[in-house]
Amino acid sequence: MGRSLSRSPSYRRRHSRSRSRSRSPSHHRHSRRRRRHRSRSSSSLSPPPKSRTPILKHKKDHQITLNKTSSKRQHEEELKLLEEETARRLEEAIRKNVEEKLNSEEVKLEIERRVAEGVKNLFDDVEVQLEKEKQDALNEARRKEEQARKEREELDKMLEENRRRVEESQRREALELQRKEEERQRELEMIRRQKEESVRRKKLEDEEHANRINSTGKNKSRANSYGL
């Protein structure tokens, strides 16, 4: 605040006047030299030496340049101070305006309303999120249950297919065993019949042989009886 007051327009005017006064002695000395130069010029009919004229003109131009530079620098400083003072006052006015509005009952009610609305929206968002997560969990449970059901069905199909294949294999093996057993029975029956046939033939042959022997013995007996 102290710095801002020191840079007020009144201070700049005093500062400008003091700087103008601080430059005045040299200016007066220069004026007195010019007046003495004029008096000497007017008193003497001859013109001043040409060797001093460029030097004086150079000094004069240099002084004018310095004065212009100093005036421009001073003007720039005054503009900068004015801009800073304007910005400070504008910032202060905005701050006061904001404070007044924040301290008003209407703004307090609006803040409370927005806070309550934000809390309500937050709870609504949380409820929506929880409902979404619950629905996602149910969907995931249904998906896993459906997947487990399909896996059980596939497993049941595999077991049923294996059971059918085993039964088919056992049936074929049973049929093969039955065929072999029947074939073996037929072979045994054939062997039995062949043996019976062989026994019957041998018996017939034995009987025929015995009959022949008997018949031959009878014939011999008859021959002997005829011979006697």
Asked if residue 40 is part of any domain, the answer here is no
Domain count, the chain: 1
Asked if residue 9 is part of any domain, the answer here is yes
pLDDT value, residue 213? 80
pLDDT value, residue 33? 52
- Mean pLDDT (whole number) for 67-74: 79
| pTM tops 0.85 | no
Task: Say whether pLDDT at 145 is over 60.
Answer: yes
d(CA 198, CA 192): 10
Percent of the chain with pLDDT over 90: 39
pLDDT value, residue 54? 62
Asked if residue 142 is part of any domain, the answer here is no
Asked if residue 195 is part of any domain, the answer here is no
12 CB-near residues (< 8 Å, 6+ apart): 78, 81
The amino acid occupying position 227 is: G
At 151, give phi and psi (nearest 5°).
-65, -40
- Mean pLDDT (whole number) for 64-91: 84
- Mean pLDDT (whole number) for 146-156: 95
Task: Say whether pLDDT at 227 is over 70.
Answer: no
User: 175 vs 71, which has greater pLDDT?
Assistant: 175
- Mean pLDDT (whole number) for 60-76: 76
pLDDT value, residue 64? 75
Identify the band that residue 224 occupies on the pLDDT scale cut at 50, 70 and 90. low
pLDDT in tens, 93-130: 898 888 877 777 887 888 889 999 999 999 999 999 99
Asked if residue 178 is part of any domain, the answer here is no
Looking at every residue in the chain, the average pLDDT score rounds to 77
User: 73 vs 36, which has greater pLDDT?
Assistant: 73
- Mean pLDDT (whole number) for 153-181: 94
pLDDT value, residue 130? 95
Q: Is 129 left (phi over 0), alpha (psi -120 to 50) or beta?
A: alpha
- Mean pLDDT (whole number) for 166-187: 94
Asked if residue 180 is part of any domain, the answer here is no
Asked if residue 82 is part of any domain, the answer here is yes
pLDDT value, residue 76? 86
Asked if residue 15 is part of any domain, the answer here is yes
Residue numbers of the domain that contains 12: 1-20+56-103
Task: Say whether pLDDT at 162 is over 90.
Answer: yes
d(CA 130, CA 137): 10
pLDDT value, residue 103? 78
